[in-house]
Amino acid sequence: MNLKLLILIVALLGISHGAVTQTFQMVRDWEKPVYPFDRGGTLSICVDSKQNVHAITNNGFWVTLAPSGAIIRETREDSLDGALTVACADDDSVAVGVPKDYAIHVFSGDHRYLRTIRVSEELSHILSVRGGEAVVLGYQREGRSLIRLRVDDEHAARSSVHVGELPAEAPSVGSMAGLFDAEKGLLIVVRKNPEKISVYKSTGELVSSKVIEGGVRPKGAEGPEKITIRNDSAEGIFVLGNRYIVNVIREDLSPAMGTIAGHLEYQILDDHFNVLGYAQGEGISTILATDAAGGIYGIGGWGQQLRVIKGHLQ
């Protein structure tokens, strides 16, 4: 057999069995502090078509940053007190979910209030806003629900579709975080216990379910005394070109302060959810958004010193 052909076959077999993984580096492009930020608060981010970054805290503080990281606008919106999820629409309006009010507030990109949409279920995530229609993940007594509703008309009717296999007892999206592929009409879910990715149609039908090889954790993890596997409300999966990136799967903590010591690890999956490799970096502790150009946005820091950070893989 031709030696070059033999080498090619061996290489392909190695890739198909997950034997070959790549190592990426998370590189920071810029960072900006977010004030005022309550200790223990939360931050939500979306990126519009101009790559402007909208960062909104759960106490109603909203800062819009240019692609360079420069501040465009800062406001405090009383109606956004309790905001926990945000999505940038295809017309660059910004939809903000406030679960405690059972409401989605819609603003223009320059922070001008447009309208409020009331919902009957408790909101978990605004997954997508396109063509005036939002796809929202919510809670119902019997489980999670995938909700479609108009956000361009506060009087428009909505339809609610229950998504199966998503446990009603799950206390937060920490055990189930979703990514909605609006082009394909699919909900992609990453779950723990067991660690797997499930894909649903927007009607709620299960398309496929796949256990992630090795689990959502790095290969060669050194042990629980040195490794913390995150399982908080920010656990998630994000589109990164023709790949996916799974949120922080490992972080080394400072035993004295309990703060991030700098070593973080993320998992990179291909478009069939096979483990492609791992990304290591410093500073972005939790990914909150990505953009079409490969930008990665998240938070870093601790307590009241949290920062919005933009980075990329190399």
Rounded Cα distance, 192 and 144, in Å: 16
Domain residues for 284? 20-36+43-313
Residue 92 DSSP one-character state:
S
Q: Is residue 174 assigned to a domain?
A: yes
What are φ and ψ of residue 210, in 5° steps?
Answer: -140, 125
pLDDT of residue 304: 59
Q: Is residue 184 assigned to a domain?
A: yes
What's the burial of 54, exposed, middle or buried (CB within 10 Å: 0-12/13-18/19+)?
buried
Q: Is residue 221 assigned to a domain?
A: yes
pLDDT at 118 over 80: yes
**What would the pLDDT profile of 276-308 be if each residue is shown by its tens digit?**
888 877 667 678 888 989 999 988 766 556 788
For residue 219, the one-letter residue type is K
pLDDT, mean of residues 222-226? 33
Q: Is residue 142 assigned to a domain?
A: yes
Read off the pLDDT band of 214 (50, 70, 90). low
Written as one string, the DSSP assignment of 197-223 is EEEEETTS-EEEEEEPTT-SS-TT---
pLDDT of residue 108: 97
- DSSP three-state, residue 16: helix
pLDDT, mean of residues 16-28? 70
Q: Is residue 128 assigned to a domain?
A: yes
Q: Is residue 2 assigned to a domain?
A: no
Q: CA 102 from chain center: how many Å?
A: 21
Question: What's the Rg (C-alpha) of the chain?
Answer: 20
Number of domains composing the chain: 1
* Higher per-residue confidence, 141 vs 44: 44
pTM for this predicted structure: 0.81
Q: Is residue 105 assigned to a domain?
A: yes
CATH code for the domain in which residue 300 is found: 2.120.10.30
**What would the pLDDT profile of 53-67 be if each residue is shown by its tens digit?**
999 988 899 999 999
pLDDT of residue 174: 36
pLDDT, mean of residues 68-75? 94
pLDDT, mean of residues 31-40? 70
Rounded Cα distance, 32 and 112, in Å: 23
Residue in this structure with the two tokens 């993940």, named with its chain if needed: 137
pLDDT, mean of residues 111-134? 88
Residue in this structure with the two tokens 């392909």, named with its chain if needed: 12
pLDDT of residue 39: 55
Q: Helices H, strands E: what count in the chain?
A: 1, 24
Q: Is residue 24 assigned to a domain?
A: yes
